Amino acid sequence: MIDWIVSSSVLIAVIIALRYLLKGKISLWLQYALWGLVLVRLLIPFSVGGSSFSVMNTVEQASVVQDVEIIKNVDHLEHRADGSVEGYFPSDYMRDFPTLVAKSKTDQEYARLQKLLSFRQVFIAIWLFGAAALLFVFVISNGRLASRLRQTRKPLNINCSALPVYVTQAVETPCLFGVFAPAIYLTPEAAADATMLRHSVEHELTHFRHGDNFWSLLRCVCLVLHWYNPLVWWAACLARTDAELACDQATIKRIGENERAEYGRTLIGMTCQKRPDLFITATTMTGSKNNIKERIILLAKKPKMAIYTLVAVVLIALTVAGCTFTGAKEGQQDFAPDTVSMVQMLSSAFPPDPITDAKIVEDLWSLYQNFEFTGTTETLDKESVNAWGITVTFTESGSDVSESFTIFAGGLCSLGDDYTKYHILNDGASIYQVFLNYFQAAQRGELQSLSDVKISVDDLEAVPSDVVDYAKDYLAQQIRAYQTGWPKIAPGCSISEAKISGLTQMNTGTAGLDKAIKLYLLEYRLRVEGNVDAVLIGGMSAVEIDGENWLTEWNSVGQPYLLLACDERGAEPLWERICVTNSEELYQYNTPKMLEQYGDFYTAAARELYHKYQISAE
């Protein structure tokens, strides 16, 4: 909610400044139209994406704002004995399970978080009470006016009017009232004078053409939602005045320039002593003395707008809209985390100390930055619902900025503290294993930096580069998983070289589809330094080439296969990574029913897996 309050306030301040700086130098319709930006921002409670020029990039650097963001979805806090702070999500998240809000918080910092949480709860309660009270006032005020108008109005036949016209003593000035059944209401004085009658009807018809009866309703909604913000009240007053100014300009254009002076005298003759009620959706023909004075001055001045002024105003409006409609950019380029913390959710295992090794933090941050998602789902799939998840938090100690995600064994991933949406992560199971290995290594105190392993490729010129790149990325993940898991089972072992020796396309019988589904068998070798027998776990196999030990891609589930989709209808083929599967999973589709339906198990597996992942992405 902070970004909603701050960004809308900044936008209002800029529009007000423009209004006073350019008064008399821009057309009145443009002056009124600028309030449309404010109206939209006040009605949209969220930011549209993130940008590097959003005002929130600066605002969110304040420590109090960062603390508010940390606890925005937390119901209550608990200060644990080890100095960390846990915040508990509301029950509609994940069964009240806790998330680590901050580690090593001092008593003073914890007290500040607790005060912010209490303030938020009080603020929300007061805001809801105030909004409900003003909504009640709004409904009663307009309902009472509608009732009085129905009881006192008398129809007046005006041939040139597109709306019904009534005479009533229930209003102090001619007005347009009603959203679904709008009508024009005149005072007896206005109806008795032919000139005043003509001007009043034309003025209110112009309000109708501008949709001001509808905009006034939305203006009241903004006041109900933002009743606590004085800038919103100021903006509502100025917007209502500018609606009248724009209406004056358009009315004179319709009735003719020769009536400009006479129209001004009509306004003067209708001057009210009473300020218009901001919660009444009726438009007003006139207003207070100060309001009428401003309108008469601008009527006499006939403001004309130079083209360069128009261009400048439009550019300023677009710029300020971009700065206030967007939120802070996630993962700012200047965010350089130097610490990574990992917590295994729903586990009794004590979380390890934060990892501060620069190379490890850099490797894990790079891995996270290159996450590729194929879609989202609102629920965990059956393979992950009971699996452990690891919450990973990157922190930049100098600025106290952090970024986090949670990855589950099945490969699904949630970002930040939003556990209502899960992102489908390409090769998520392998990536999960990397972070699990690091978590376990940190618990054992056996962390070591990853070594950079160059991946070479044999002669694969016939294989599309997108497929080769997919194979390289997958192999890099496998190398990370091995390197982080070996310290416990094979101390001293490392990978010094990696080679992709083959990418063989399997016939899947999908060439006739708009988006062909292609399956490639991946063959690779990893040269191992140290005792290779110690790492032959999980059914891994090794070969000796020229006296050197190499691990092959063969393991307990067979060989890996890359599944991709390719849209070849355009000038250049468009590739889409689907998943990495294996021999064991492929042969699950080698059933009589599948073979009868698809012809062979490669086609069956490719189509079934593609269908499965596409449904998940949707």
Q: Give the start-to-end residue ranges of the domains of the chain.
A: 2-61+122-150+215-324, 331-449, 451-618
Tokens of 43: 């009605």
CA distance linking residue 27 with residue 36, whole number of Å: 15
C-alpha distances in Å from residue 566, one per residue of 330, 469, 505, 570: 31, 15, 13, 11
Tokens of 199: 């001007």
543-569 CB burial, b ≥16 within 10 A, e <16: eeeeeebbbebbbeebbbbbbbbbeee
C-alpha distances in Å from residue 262, one per residue of 101, 188, 273, 299: 68, 20, 22, 11
Element (DSSP H or E) covering residue 154: strand 154-156
Contact criterion met (CB below 8 Å) for 530 and 524: no
Q: Hey, what amino acid is at 176?
A: L
Note the helical H segments in 165-303.
188-192, 194-210, 212-225, 230-255, 260-269, 289-301
Residue 412's pLDDT is: 86
C-alpha distances in Å from residue 169, one per residue of 174, 280, 314: 10, 17, 43
Q: Which stretches does DSSP call E strand in 397-457?
A: 401-408, 412-415, 422-425, 455-457
CA distance linking residue 542 with residue 526, whole number of Å: 9
- Record: fold of 331-449: Immunoglobulin-like (2.60.40)
Give the pTM.
Answer: 0.54
Q: How many CB atoms lie within 10 A of CB 350?
A: 10
Contact criterion met (CB below 8 Å) for 546 and 522: no
Torsion of CA 122, 127, 132, 135, to 10 degrees: 170
C-alpha distances in Å from residue 415, one per residue of 76, 391, 403, 408: 21, 10, 9, 12
Contact criterion met (CB below 8 Å) for 535 and 526: no
CA distance linking residue 176 with residue 209, whole number of Å: 11
Q: Which stretches does DSSP call E strand in 330-489?
A: 339-344, 373-377, 389-396, 401-408, 412-415, 422-425, 455-457
HSE (CB half, 13 Å, CA atoms) of 572? Answer: 5
Tokens of 368: 């996270």
Contact criterion met (CB below 8 Å) for 523 and 553: yes
Tokens of 405: 């995600």
Run means of pLDDT, 10 residues per run, the chain, 618 residues = 84 91 84 92 83 72 65 66 58 46 62 78 90 94 92 88 90 89 91 90 92 92 93 93 89 88 83 70 76 77 77 88 78 72 76 83 86 78 64 82 86 82 82 85 72 83 90 86 73 84 87 78 90 71 82 86 86 86 88 86 87 59
**How are strands ordered across the β-sheet holding 422-425?**
339-344, 389-396, 401-408, 412-415, 422-425, 373-377
Q: How many CB atoms lie within 10 A of CB 312?
A: 14
Q: What are phi and psi of 34, to 5 degrees?
A: -60, -30
Contact criterion met (CB below 8 Å) for 172 and 186: no
Q: What are phi and psi of 499, to 5 degrees?
A: -145, 130
Q: Locate tokens 């821009």: which residue?
A: 26
